[in-house]
Structure 1
Amino acid sequence: MNVVDKGIEIVAAGAREYLTFRLGQEEYGIDILKVQEIRGYEAPTRIAHAPAFIKGVINLRGTIVPIVDMRLRFGCAQADYDSFTVVVILNLRERVVGIVVDSVSDVMELAPEQLRPAPDLESSIDAQCIRGLGSVGERMLILLDIERLMAGVDMGLATAAS
């Protein structure tokens, strides 16, 4: 295992697959094993007093799923929802959460030598939620630790009962 700054670990035991998605001009990657499904965007039911980036909830085959708009979560400009806008349903430990993204690009396999530590910069994303950067040719992916990001206190999502 390679250990980078701040104790963030990048697993080097072989290649890993990431679902890549876009928010504006930025491209992000999340561990494909956390993805349950990808759905077209449908307006969720709004919940009173929820943080602005929590768009509401949807009923997914009997499971109530909170929907987080990643543009709002990261402080980006408000996006128009169009035919490319999707909701990525994530299975995080015992919690199901949906994230709204501008579009899904593809599933990409990254070998350990394609991974780099993230620079230590001021950002709207907690640095501990960034696993590192992945590079493929001219493409640069921001690799997110989506479980850590969704578990943040500021998310306003209650933890699943044990």
Structure 2
Amino acid sequence: MTGTPIQTAQGVEPQEFIAFHVGEQTYCIDIITVREIRGWTPATPLPHAPSFVRGVINLRGSVLPVVDLAARLGLPIKEPTARHAVIVVQSNGQIVGLLVEAVSNIMTIAPDAIQPTPEVASELSKSFIQGIVAADQQVISVLIVRNLLPESLQLAA
């Protein structure tokens, strides 16, 4: 995959997205929500945290909750390796790490290139997915960061 812009209607401002892999699927999120990308470090589990919260890590003296994106999306969970990455995002006043298998690239996408989520998707999937983009002979789901981060994580931080 390259950083080639996905062009559409003239006059529409394209946005940049970070693309990454979870399982066999490629996803992307709006780059505006991304604060940094770091390598995986083991997390300290939190008692009574939601099952998709891997735990917390120390980010330069701050406690950062880490969401296992595979678990959050209902995909098979893999034990993190050195290849995994944590995308540190900020949304709705929360700063959270998203555990992904690998970050692939930055994509430039025009808003009208994002197609609606198919009707066959579950309501839960639709709440996480803004839409679908066809790029470089693959289908990429555009995730809504704020919907991946439940309000209950504010208590964990």
Q: Which amino acid aligns with 2:95?
A: V
User: How far apart are 1:24 and its partner, in Å?
Assistant: 1.0
Q: In structure 1, what is the equivalent of residue 18 of structure 2?
A: 19
**Counterpart secondary structure, 1:80:** coil
- Note closer, same or farther for the CA distance 1:37–1:124 as it changes in structure 2 (3 Å cut): farther
User: How far apart are 1:93 and its partner, in Å?
Assistant: 3.2
- Note closer, same or farther for the CA distance 1:124–1:68 as it changes in structure 2 (3 Å cut): farther
Instruction: Indicate which of 150, 153, 157 corresponds to 1:157.
Output: 153
Q: In structure 2, what is the equivalent of residue 4 of structure 1?
A: none
TM-score by length of structure 1 reads 0.81
Aligned residues: 146
User: How far apart are 1:90 and its partner, in Å?
Assistant: 0.5
User: How far apart are 1:122 and its partner, in Å?
Assistant: 3.8
Aligned equivalents of 2:26 and 2:13: distance in 1? 22
Structure with higher RCO (Cα < 8 A, 6+ apart): 2
User: Which range is displaced more, 108-117 or 86-95?
Assistant: 108-117
**Counterpart secondary structure, 1:36:** strand
Structure 1 residue runs of 5 or longer lacking an equivalent are: 1-11
Q: CA RMSD in A?
A: 2.1
Deviations along 1:67-111, whole A, 9 cap, x unmatched? 010111122112132222011100113211001011111010012
Q: Which amino acid aligns with 2:71?
A: L
Aligned equivalents of 1:116 and 1:144: distance in 2? 12
Q: In structure 2, what is the equivalent of residue 49 of structure 1?
A: 48
Q: In structure 2, what is the equivalent of residue 7 of structure 1?
A: none
- Note closer, same or farther for the CA distance 1:39–1:49 as it changes in structure 2 (3 Å cut): same
Alignment of structure 1 residues 1-162 onto 2, 5 Å? 13-123=12-122, 125-151=124-150, 156-158=152-154
CA contact (8 A) 2:21 2:27 kept: yes
**Counterpart secondary structure, 1:46:** coil
Aligned equivalents of 1:63 and 1:13: distance in 2? 38
**Counterpart secondary structure, 1:116:** coil
Structure 1 segments of 4 or more deviating over 4 A? none
Deviations along 1:86-141, whole A, 9 cap, x unmatched? 11100113211001011111010012342211112243844132111112131211
CA contact (8 A) 1:23 1:71 kept: yes
- Note closer, same or farther for the CA distance 1:124–1:86 as it changes in structure 2 (3 Å cut): farther
**Counterpart secondary structure, 2:80:** coil
CA contact (8 A) 1:75 1:124 kept: no
